[in-house]
Amino acid sequence: MFNLIKMNLYRMSRAVSTWVIAIVTVCFALLQFGSLKLIFDDPFNMFSGEAGSMVAFDRLDGVSAVTTFLQNGNVLIILAIFVVLFANAEHKCGFDKNLIGLSKNRWKQTLARWISAVIGMTALIAIGFGVMLGLTALFVDAFTFGSAVAMFKSLGLMYLGAVAFSAIFFFFTTLFNNSVGGVVTSLVLTTGIFNLFEMLMDMLVKKIFSSPKVLPTDIFYDSVFMNFSHSDASTKAILIFAGISVVYIVLSLLGSMVLQQRRDVK
């Protein structure tokens, strides 16, 4: 397993796509910083102190910085593309033919690939969030760091969410066995297209059952993630969010490993 992770990290570090995505992540972080600077410091008097009308929070601190960067469809799209390209690279160039036959327990190769993808994703988040937070702390006058505990709690929860998303993207890439299928699924999940479908399903469920206890938007992960308000969440809400995330991680990984174990290499 260690050898496999080492190999995956080696190929990740030498893939052009990794560095392109890292640059895009930094650019996105710069964009986020620029937006916060414009909205909160308002150097051109564009918003007349109405920053709250532009963003979902009225004060800029560590927790809202996490929300700005990680609870964001754009960052999820970047991470999705990274995970999908990385997960499918071996199959795309046929390198899996050299690898898969070497072990009877092919699921270990899948697990190692996902762990490596999460390590890469963690690095991207760290770089992007670090750049955005650093620049915001240094150059946005309205920024106050606030509670470090609250910020790291938010960061941890949103990171868990990103990891759960990575497992879902990883599963669909394994299922379709190509990047296109994985990217399309990821885009559907992260751009809110699927959310419209879920809301329609909510309405349908509400029509069928007078007062349903669980709605599709409570279960489908894109809604669970986007609707989660970590800044003022109760312990129960946090546990539910973390529980659903873990369930998605476990199910997606199990699905990917079973697929890999049973499928012949074409």
Give contact residues for another protein (rule: CB under 8 A): 3-4, 6-7, 10-11, 14-16, 89, 93-105, 264-265
Q: How far is the CB of 98 from another protein (least distance, A)?
A: 5
Q: Which of 186, 180, 154 is nearest to 252 (CA)?
A: 186
Query: Considering the complex, what minimum distance in angstroms separates the CB of residue 107 from another protein?
Result: 12
Nearer to another protein, 179 or 185 (CB): 179
Is the Cβ–Cβ distance between 120 and 163 less than 8 Å?
A: no
Quote the least distance from Cβ 208 to another protein, whole Å: 39
SS3 of residue 217 by DSSP? helix
User: For residues 18 and 190, which CB has a smaller minimum distance to another protein in the complex?
Assistant: 18
Least distance in Å: CB of 177 to another protein? 14
Dihedrals phi, psi of 233, to nearest 5 degrees: -80, 145
End-to-end CA distance of the chain: 24
Closer of 63 and 111 to another protein (Cβ) = 111
- The residue among 112 and 140 lying less far from another protein, judged by its C-beta, is 112
Cα 198 to Cα 39: distance, rounded to the nearest angstrom: 32
DSSP string of 88-102, one letter each residue: HHHHHHTTHHHHGGG
Q: Minimum distance from CB of 262 to another protein (Å)?
A: 8
CB 46 within 8 A of CB 53: no
Least Cβ distance, residue 212 to another protein (angstroms): 42
Q: Which of 15, 3, 170, 206 is nearest to 79 (CA)?
A: 170
Instruction: Give the nearer residue to another protein in terms of CB position, either 7 or 240.
Output: 7
**CB closer to another protein, 11 vs 115:** 11
Cα gap 84→87, rounded to integer Å: 5
Q: Is 49 helix (H, G, I), strand (E, B) or coil?
A: coil
**How far apart, in whole angstroms, are the C-alpha atoms of residue 246 and residue 9?**
24
CB 65 within 8 A of CB 150: no
Rounded to the nearest whole angstrom, what is the least distance from the CB of residue 18 to another protein in the complex? 11
Q: How many CA atoms lie within 13 A of 37 on its CB side?
A: 16
Cα separation of 208 and 220, whole Å?
19
Closer by beta carbon to another protein, 18 or else 71: 18
